Structure 1
């Protein structure tokens, strides 16, 4: 969870990729839980050696992450709250709903349709990774509806001292009906996530084995990994996600060197369309993802 949020703030996958490479293989009779949010706060408990290895100073980097997700860093779209702040080190944990941390709260308050679209893309890109990485993806309370921070806890004497309640909302089921209204934020998120679930169920390559290979693309803004089905190794899905706010290129040559055959055309199984390709590069728009499979 924390590594994905680091990539959101930095707009690069350096620390995320290093952390993933350090993961041990899971046991055959066990699995991961993959999630973006839960009932608790987010702590940036990265290994300091990993932080140093990707070019950051641990203390200043954690302070940056805190400032970013609390909306105190210039240009940050996030609307989180600090939890258990250490005034000496500047370190803190972060509270906030997924949608508010991803920029949707700010965008909707400003009635900015471009920013709303960006926030939705960011939310879907993050979900595309927990659905495709392996393990069991966990959808937290309200994430599929884009629920924003709930500040009503501040009027409750029993909760006001614990701002983790900001991301523990009660569901307004009347408001949740907006998921059935075409074009609403709730509908766009709910429909897309339901489709992701359906695709995940249909792809043998997403079966839960140690069947994942991280690929080095030469572009730090992209996270890229290959999933394959153990019983049919040729059945593969290439997952790539762009964490940057500008379009990024995935060089086809990187994939060829890995031995991937491009004689057959690629299709993005999420959209059903061919990926945007310019000469020898597959192009991803800001916060776009692909689940690529050969036709």
Structure 2
């Protein structure tokens, strides 16, 4: 009885912790730590949708302890029989439990080769929205029925928190490009400015697609939308989870880089510029080549400046790139 009371108190604290943020990155980090501490495992990972419209659950960077081969893809398709099993018979499963349910795991070799001790689905509103993968236990032996029930309670709390974070993500995301909306960008920028005055600096990168109106006029707006989505994907592929990429308006984009320093900001901007310059977009058998221009500004520690001031500096630097011939980067000096 004392253990049950203690566990209920722990679940209450876990619920408060998981529901204290709608930031997906912070939520995932919190969940991984909770799983390791409360479920007493040395390794833990979380499969979730990488994007709002993704049709698979990916491990991506959401793990700790596991020895991951970055050349492999760790993902479970939403259409896989394993997900159907989780939907039809919700519970904790070992790999042997899954095989005993006549579910083949041969096409999930990268996942099974990690030798998880338990796979626990997260279910909210009748749908699977994630899978917890636990590694070896600190204590010897398998999980008993009471421990599995406790794990499912943790999973239920986690699934609700992830669902809430997903709803927040939808409200702050441009659904075409999957980048953040302008109002969210300013809220994060103001938050970072408040933190930067105390501690760490950061950078702001503003991009604009060169001659984008010509693309729309020549090939139509459906082609223009394809170009916007293509550029947005490159932006997302070249930032870390701690950075923020947003669609500022039309064909303009902004990236907030959490790591301070002019060199880092210019390195990221140049990597994006070069990747886009060297890429080809195929639209109705037509090969399109596009370029982008960029303006970069770094927050200078100790200055009492506003978000509008930083945006204005980046915009002027971007304008200079346009005037100087496009397909280039301009850094806004002090």
TM over 0.5: no
Higher relative contact order structure (alpha carbons within 8 Å, sequence separation ≥ 6): 1
| TM-score (norm: length of structure 2) | 0.25
Q: Which has the larger share of helix?
A: 2
Highest Rg: 1 or 2?
2
TM (normalized to structure 1)? 0.28
